[in-house]
Amino acid sequence: MATRIGSLRRAVVATLICLVATPAPAAPKTDVVVLRNGNQITGEIKELSYGQLMLKTDDMGTVYVEWDKIVSLQTTQLLQVELADGRRFFGAAPVFASTPATIRLLSGKAGETPVAVELSTSEVVRMATTFAEERWYQRLDGSVSAGYSYTQTNSLQVFSFAGEVGSRTNKRKWNIAIDNQTTTQATAAASERASLEATLERFMLNRYYREGAIQFSRNQELGLKLRSLVGATYGRYLLQRPGREWRAGGGLAASAEDSTDGSHRKSLEAQLNSSLRVFRFDSPKVDVTAGVTLLPSLSDWGRVRGELNVNARYELIHDLFFELTLNDSYDNTPSTGSQTNDWNVVTSIGYSF
């Protein structure tokens, strides 16, 4: 299993490097957005989320426009539009709507004649563009970051690497993330903290969601050689506003552990989690995410695990960012000779795409 996680980790790293190194061809920037003050912006519509429309332009780069400042838009791209009541529409908006503050969408299923519908912009909560199958990679978003520190007195070296890649539509979101920190020291054995996680989230009506996750992790400070976990969560977005998002949920998780002392444990756990994100899209971009997960065991009564993760990013120049990360892991019954709590702070430089 340790060999498997190592192979998966190398595969994800290689994928992330290839995605960064290979620029995706952009769609023609012919979409037109009309603002309330009468100004028009021409570019390529990418998505609407968190109350802001992402628009790529030739002269101004990527700009974010507050959705309530938009009167109408025109695009030949295929759009997936979700309304506040949960209804979804699919189609293009090749002409401006006849009524202000509306979108005229040619909507219809494949093989059917499109029907023109006018949607009020005040009812639209999420929108994403849809590409043909051969251009699926244009929907990917992600980042890579790395950090290194060295202390001469005791030859202490700390190397960190993190990367993620994923995609989001108005129906679902998937993400694959890898995180690794290796510490070496002349007078002590090397230690490693690493995780590889894949998640799939399905958006539901009234801001509810379902999420499934598969995770492989290790933490030698806690005596954990390898933990394999499969979990499912049902929750709700309690807050979705421009610049901030808060969600909470609960569910079940099943895990199998190999410890450094040679013991093996299997556990069925309750899973309680909550995350808060505060961000700013305007340059310089700022993105702060804090998440906490509690896992009280149902099969090993009395055992409680917990994870706390805080990540802060600040854009230095276009898509290049400085990152500060705090990780804290807790296990009240670790393997023999290991500590119950392990935390670290990592600084790194990264690139988002």
Instruction: Check whether residue 41 and residue 112 sit in a common domain.
Output: yes
* Same domain assignment for residues 271 and 254: yes
Residue 309 included in any domain? yes
Q: Which of 27-36, 131-140, 261-270 has the lowest mean pLDDT?
A: 131-140
Q: Which of 66-70, 256-260, 320-324 is the least confident region?
A: 66-70
Domain presence at residue 14:
no
In which band, very low, low, confident or very high, does the pLDDT at 239 lie, cut at 50, 70 and 90? confident
pLDDT at 133: 43
CATH code at 192?
A: 2.40.160.40
Q: What is the pLDDT of residue 136?
A: 62
Out of 87, 114, 132, a domain closes at 132
Within this chain, do residues 57 and 169 fall inside the same structural domain, yes or no? no
Does position 23 have pLDDT exceeding 70, yes or no? no
225 shares its domain with 282: yes
**What pLDDT score was predicted for residue 109?**
67
Q: Quote the pLDDT of residue 90.
A: 85
Task: Tell me which residue range forms the domain holding 58.
Answer: 31-132
The answer to whether position 50 is within a domain reads yes
Same domain for 307 and 182?
Answer: yes
Residues 80 and 219 in one domain: no
How many residues are listed for the chain in this entry? Answer: 353
Answer yes or no: is pLDDT of 38 > 50: yes
Q: What are the φ and ψ backbone dihedral angles of 148, each rounded to 5 degrees?
A: -150, 140
**Per-residue pLDDT at 107 exceeds 70:** yes
CB within 8 Å of 15: residues ≥ 6 apart: 165
Does any domain span residue 21? no
DSSP state letters, 135-170: GGGGG-EEEEEEEEEEETTTTEEEEEEEEEEEEE-S
Whether residue 6 lies inside any domain: the answer is: no
Average pLDDT over residues 135-161: 84
| pLDDT band, residue 2 (cuts 50/70/90) | very low
Tokens of 133: 């199958």
Q: Provide mean pLDDT across the span 216-221.
A: 91
What global pTM score does this model have? 0.74
In this model, does residue 21 exceed pLDDT 60? no
Of 8 and 299, the structure prediction assigns the larger pLDDT to 299
Same domain, 171 and 265: yes
Q: What is the pLDDT averaged over residues 285-295?
A: 94
Tell me, yes or no, whether 105 and 181 share the same domain.
Answer: no
Bridge partners of 41, per DSSP, are 33
Please say which residue of 109, 132, 155 terminates a domain: 132
Q: Please check whether residue 62 lies inside any domain of the structure.
A: yes
Burial 19-49 (b: 16+ CB within 10 A, else e): bbeeeeeebeeebebbeeeeeebebbbbbbb
User: Could you give the C-alpha distances from 227 to 46, 84, 143, 197, 343, in angstroms and in order?
Assistant: 38, 40, 25, 11, 18
Q: How wide is the angle at C-alpha 289 spanned by C-alphas 285 and 293, nearest 5°?
A: 170
Number of domains forming the structure of the chain:
2
The mean pLDDT value of the chain amounts to 85
Which of these three, 68, 98, 132, is where a domain ends? 132
The answer to whether the CB of 118 falls within 8 A of the CB of 93 is no
- Max mean pLDDT among 13-22, 27-36, 136-145, 211-220 falls in 211-220
- Are 339 and 218 in the same domain? yes
Instruction: Please report whether residue 18 resides in a domain.
Output: no
For residue 298, being part of any structural domain is answered with: yes
Mean pLDDT lowest for which of 75-79, 133-137, 246-250? Answer: 133-137
Shared domain check, 104 and 153:
no
Q: Rounded CA gap, 64 and 30, in Å?
A: 17
Lowest mean pLDDT among 5-9, 40-44, 66-70: 5-9
- My answer on whether 144 and 127 are in the same domain is no
State the average pLDDT over residues 148-164. Answer: 88
Does residue 294 share a domain with residue 157?
yes
